[in-house]
Structure 1
Amino acid sequence: MGLMGSVATSTYVKRSSFLGIIARVFKENAQCRPTIGKELPFWSIPKRLALMFNNADAFIALPGSFDNVVESGFVFPEVRNFLIAIVIVEELSIKLQVFEYHPDLITQQI
């Protein structure tokens, strides 16, 4: 089981929901295990991002992935004010609970 599979399983065990947004090419080539919870397949990165933004309350970027997202231009410097960074996993729940989003002119247009 991969890292995202572990996250999905842990979420399911805690009686919460998990949405798997999975590339169809992975499903067609049997590179994914069965999804726990609801599954939304996609064909393109723009479609994946749209599905993620329309179906999530929060996102978790795994080690190394956030820098790649910023470098690839998916996260603009102007929107970093509503991102949370942690080193210890246990901090995530606490920081999400106390987080207050204050939109600015740039993020309101996204």
Structure 2
Amino acid sequence: MTIAASADDSSSSSSSLVCVFCGSSSGNDPAYAEAAQELGRELVRNGYGLVYGGGTGGLMGSVAHATSESGGRVVGIMPRPMTSIEGCGNQVGEMIMVDSMHQRKSLMNDHAAAFIALPGGFGTLEELLEMTTWSKLSIHAKPLIAVNTNGYYSPLQAMIKQGVDMGFIDDSGNDTIVFCDTPAAAVAAIKTYIPQAKRDDVDWAPKVAA
């Protein structure tokens, strides 16, 4: 089923969906696709469904198919201009079509109870880091977890520590993203995640004109 985005696209069952960021390619080691498939199965075992970028190739396709085949709900969010790049043939589950990357990320946040990143390219890194920034700014207080297959995210973990050591990131930055070695550990980390303290000096509530 494909629908256009609307103002109330965050449904009452959104709290059971986990947003997964991952590559539209599969990388050069079968371990990446295997981890994506295992993550899909782990989500369903723990009562979660999937919200993701909507692509059907690479790790996107692997996690979506595994979630669906295990009986879980799958919601894809696809910018119309990206259909020729990420593809949406052999659609898995529900599809929400949007007009921009910004709208895609906003709806992902609206639908998700947590965020998990598998390996991926610039887009995956950008999505993970934007949601990390949103957490630091108290736009959301949801778990942020990276599956460190083959040590893929070890350089990012080291860079965050360097940012803390050099005074560009506050000490809590070390714990904003939880790095896990396996999909099972990543899903388990959702329940034990300690969210960032709310920044009282930032108010994101819409302002109503007098």
CA distance in 1, matches of 2:196, 2:184: 24
Give the counterpart letter for 1:87 in structure 2.
Answer: D
1:45 aligns with 2:101: yes
1:89 aligns with 2:147: no
Q: Which moved more, 1:81-90 or 1:19-28?
A: 81-90
Gaps of 5+ in 2: 1-56, 138-172, 205-210
CA distance in 2, matches of 1:82, 1:91: 16
Q: Which residue of 2 aligns with 1:15?
A: 71
Percent identity over the alignment is: 23
Question: CA shift at 1:102, angstroms?
Answer: 5.3
Structure with a larger share of its residues in strand: 2
C-alpha contact 1:24 1:42 (8 A) present in aligned 2 = yes
Give the counterpart letter for 1:33 in structure 2.
Answer: G
Q: Which residue of 1 aligns with 2:136?
A: 78
Indicate the structure whose relative CO is greater, using CA pairs within 8 Å and at least 6 residues apart: 2
Q: CA RMSD in A?
A: 3.0
Q: 1:65-101: CA deviations, max 9, x gaps? A: 33x443xx55328365553322222211211132243
Q: Looking at CA atoms only, which structure, 1 or 2, has the larger radius of gyration?
A: 2
Q: Which residue of 1 aligns with 2:111?
A: 55
Give the counterpart letter for 1:23 in structure 2.
Answer: P
Give the counterpart letter for 1:58 in structure 2.
Answer: A
Provide the TM-score with structure 1 as the length reference: 0.72
Change (3 A) 1:63 1:109: farther
C-alpha contact 2:77 2:104 (8 A) present in aligned 1 = yes
Provide the TM-score with structure 2 as the length reference: 0.42
Gaps of 5+ in 1: none
Change (3 A) 1:78 1:16: same
